[in-house]
Structure 1
Amino acid sequence: MPEYRAHFDFDIRFANGGGMSGTGFRLDLPSAGATEDEIARLLVTHLGLALVDEVELRGLRIVEEPHRGSRGIPPVPAPEASRETRIVDLSHPIRAGLVTYPGLPAPTITPHLTREDSRARYAPGTEFAMDVIHMIGNTGTYLDSPFHRYADGRDLAGLDLSTLVGLRAEVFHLEDSWDASRRGIRSTTLADRDVRGAAVLLHTGWDRWFGRPEYGHGAPFLTGEAAQWLIDAGAVLVGIDSVNIDDADPSTGSGGGERPAHSLLLGAGVHVVEHLTNLGALPPRGARFTAAPPAVEGFGTFPVRAFAELPA
């Protein structure tokens, strides 16, 4: 189903005095037929305003555009166990030679038992292939457990599956809201959502560079103060489709050894999933997110098959 948004400037006057204005504002709409009065009411709801006397919209345009999560628009209902669902794959495939994070080793895949050799071990017409993969845990789309950052944190085997499977997803579509001079995602960008118990997924569009040299430079990231806000707001997991949830760009002053988002989130037991992809296929609300790694003891990071469930 197509989705629509309104583009406009506005002036708001309050019944008890004062006012506010905005330019280049964009707002999700329930349909293309929303009237100017309906859009004005949605604007007031989205901004959480009270005692509004008058709303004036200027340069109003209604365009077909994916929703970004404006308040006041009913969310897509979450899938139920008895209903058919559609699965959206959010993981990068792993292959031999794949460069996930610049500077880290790429995986190698070698045969342990070839199909040809197996024929001598089994009955006629029966054959198997058994292969060995050698890779760092930070390969493809992967999850960081607290043990990745803290020696006394939970390793992959110690994670509670209820914090990894079927999580309510709050997707923030940010690919058109930042530029090279302002790469850090701040709490003010996230503060209009209820994220308690949710997987917060940050769609920056940076996955378009995955596997290319551009992926490691100038990437968007989550600021430390935004990480602390998500912790205080009760998020269970935070995922991003970028090279790192922190600023890891070696060419910037803040891209050195500090990792405030990792330190804060993992210290609070909030899982981190990096190198997601295809987040643009998800609505702002209404999906269920899963990213479960194997239960490896004494290991902090491992690839996941991350996916979202949506009503069919």
Structure 2
Amino acid sequence: MKKWLDLTGRLENGMWNYGKPFPDISVQQVASLEADGYEGHAFQLHSLAGTYLETANHLFEGRETIGDISLDRLMLRAWVAQLPDKQPFEPITADELEAAVEAAGSGLAPGEALLIATGWDAYWNKPGYIETSPFFLPEAMDWIIDHDVGLLGLDITSIEDPRKPAAEMTLLQRYYAKDRLMMAPLVSLREAGQGPWNLAALPLHIPGVCAAPCRAVLFLP
């Protein structure tokens, strides 16, 4: 097994994006060795660009923001639930989560991280990646909450059915009712086996924002 595994998707021009009101992601060279004597680039990003970490402040006013999170909640033990490959609009069920965690022999403890692998990262930057994403059934969110997962990681673009309007994102509201963390979308989870791993989930340190692009790495002791 690898000692290190990077779960972070690449940030680059022309990549997938959630659309308005978020701007397109842009990486542009603004200085060169030939013209300026050094290399330099300008980035146009937003809070949900690429792989990102998100807090309850995304939906609840006055809750913790990225700058409030202590490091012990960003560097923790993680288990991987290896689900069967998901097809467009295919739901994730509680029974699937239970079976995957049992197969891992998981000693998943309250507050630890659970990463959900569906194989959806194979569609990264392909048509329908966001619009036809798999999603959680309410029973699956019940399972996550009942097991007191502290950081939920996903290789899909949202836990909500992408056909629902934003105003109906009730699963996110239930998850964030307690100050839990979410990280998505991840890549390469199929390479992770079932764990346990140590997880480092390190967002850009930007005070006062609900989410930020994140570098997510699994590593063994």
Q: Could you say which TM-score interval applies, normalised by the shorter chain? A: 0.7 to 0.9
Is the Cα–Cα contact under 8 Å of residues 231 and 270 in structure 1 kept in the other structure? no
Q: Structure 1 residues 217, 99: closer, same or farther in 2, change over 3 A?
A: closer
**Are 1:110 and 2:110 an aligned pair?**
no
Q: Structure 1 residues 153, 228: closer, same or farther in 2, change over 3 A?
A: farther
| Corresponding residue number in structure 2 for 1:293 | 203
By relative contact order (CA 8 Å, sep 6+), the higher-ranking structure is: 2
Q: Structure 2: which amino acid aligns with 1:164?
A: L
**Are 1:154 and 2:64 an aligned pair?**
yes
Is the Cα–Cα contact under 8 Å of residues 158 and 295 in structure 1 kept in the other structure? no
Q: Structure 1 residues 113, 301: closer, same or farther in 2, change over 3 A?
A: same
Per-residue deviation, 1:117: 4.5
| Corresponding residue number in structure 1 for 2:159 | 245
| Corresponding residue number in structure 1 for 2:94 | 187
User: Which blocks of at least 5 consecutive residues in structure 2 are unaligned?
Assistant: none
| Corresponding residue number in structure 1 for 2:112 | 198
Q: Structure 1 residues 194, 286: closer, same or farther in 2, change over 3 A?
A: closer
CA distance in 2, matches of 1:222, 1:239: 13
Per-residue deviation, 1:194: 4.2
Is the Cα–Cα contact under 8 Å of residues 110 and 133 in structure 1 kept in the other structure? yes
Classify the secondary structure of the residue corresponding to 1:304.
strand
| Corresponding residue number in structure 2 for 1:211 | 125
- TM value normalised by structure 2: 0.85
Q: Structure 1 residues 180, 214: closer, same or farther in 2, change over 3 A?
A: closer
| Corresponding residue number in structure 1 for 2:178 | 268
Is the Cα–Cα contact under 8 Å of residues 200 and 216 in structure 2 kept in the other structure? yes
Is the Cα–Cα contact under 8 Å of residues 100 and 210 in structure 1 kept in the other structure? no
CA distance in 2, matches of 1:93, 1:218: 21
Question: Percent identity among equivalent residues?
Answer: 25
CA distance in 2, matches of 1:308, 1:236: 16
The answer to which of 109-118 and 271-280 deviates more is: 109-118
Q: Structure 1: which amino acid aligns with 2:220?
A: L
Is the Cα–Cα contact under 8 Å of residues 57 and 63 in structure 2 kept in the other structure? yes
Q: Which of these two proteins has the greater Rg computed from alpha carbons?
A: 1
Per-residue deviation, 1:131: 2.2
Is the Cα–Cα contact under 8 Å of residues 185 and 222 in structure 1 kept in the other structure? yes
Tell me the C-alpha RMSD between the 2 structures: 2.3
User: Which blocks of at least 5 consecutive residues in structure 1 are unaligned?
Assistant: 2-84, 120-127
How many residues of Structure 1 are paired with residues of Structure 2 in the alignment? 212
The answer to which of 293-302 and 110-119 deviates more is: 110-119
Decide which of 95, 98, 108 is 2:12's aligned counterpart.
Answer: 95
- TM value normalised by structure 1: 0.62
| Corresponding residue number in structure 2 for 1:171 | 80
CA distance in 1, matches of 2:174, 2:107: 20
Classify the secondary structure of the residue corresponding to 1:292.
strand
The answer to which of 183-192 and 229-238 deviates more is: 183-192
Is the Cα–Cα contact under 8 Å of residues 17 and 25 in structure 2 kept in the other structure? no
Q: Structure 1: which amino acid aligns with 2:195?
A: R
The structure where helix makes up a greater share of residues is 2
